[in-house]
Amino acid sequence: VDYALAYRPDVQQQEFAVERAKAAVGQRRALFYPVVGASASQDFQSTDNGRLGRDEFASTVGINLSYELFTGGRHVAALAESKHARSEAERLLDAAALNAQSEVRDSVINLEAALQLLALQEETTSFVQRNRDLVEKEYQAGQGALARLNQAQRDLVAAEGRLALARVALRRTWHSVHTATGETL
């Protein structure tokens, strides 16, 4: 679960959304402070025939300070809106984290079930194999019918097929565990 919370893209996306919303709140708070601007320029004007002199250069330096005294509540509303967006992003992050935890736990439960099913199928196949071997010995000794040997062989093939399907299901379940934790990315 910890690995999934650290590396799943959907959780990371929501974490970045929370960070973005926090930055937006800071940006909206900045609207309440004065704005300071600085500028500098250097101009050249020639009145002579290409000769450069000191009097033909002009430099300008300026500082500008502005502060809005009344905005009609625009900045307050913008700040409140960004705080609500941050709150929504935090709730979405919590939902993504809960979803990731749920998916990991579900996939682990499915993995345990697949492991148990595989163990049962291996045991069943072993019993069916033993039964088939006994029926074959009985047939070779002339004590059993060919139809019974065919049925035992059919049962063995079916059991081996179920065992193969259980192995495939286990592999699929392992893949879903890796996907749920974000390891396959």
Instruction: Say what the pTM is.
Output: 0.69
| More reliable by pLDDT, 92 or 144 | 92
* pLDDT confidence of residue 55: 61
Query: Phi/psi zone of residue 45: left (φ > 0), alpha (ψ -120 to 50 degrees), beta?
Result: beta
Range 2-14 burial, b when 16+ CB lie within 10 A, else e = eebbeebebbeeb
* Cα dihedral across residues 93, 94, 97, 103: positive or negative: negative
Locate tokens 């974490």: which residue?
15
CB distance 36 to 67 below 8 Å: no
**E strand segments, 35-143:** 35-44, 57-66
CA distance linking residue 31 with residue 29, whole number of Å: 5
Angle at which helices 74-140 and 146-181 pack, to 10 degrees?
A: 160
- Of all residues in the chain, what percent carry a pLDDT higher than 90? 78
Q: Which of 20-29, 59-68, 116-125 has the lowest mean pLDDT?
A: 59-68
DSSP 8-state symbol, 10:
H
* pLDDT confidence of residue 103: 95
CA distance linking residue 54 with residue 121, whole number of Å: 98
Q: Check pLDDT > 90 for residue 29.
A: yes
Maximum Cα–Cα distance across the chain: 129
Average pLDDT, the chain: 91
pLDDT confidence tier of residue 71, bands split at 50, 70 and 90:
confident
Q: Check pLDDT > 90 for residue 89.
A: yes
For 97-102, what is the mean pLDDT?
Answer: 96
Q: Check pLDDT > 90 for residue 184.
A: no
CA distance linking residue 28 with residue 76, whole number of Å: 9
pLDDT in tens, 103-159: 999 999 999 999 999 999 999 999 999 999 999 999 999 888 999 999 999 999 999
Token code pair at residue 74: 């625009």
CA distance linking residue 124 with residue 155, whole number of Å: 11
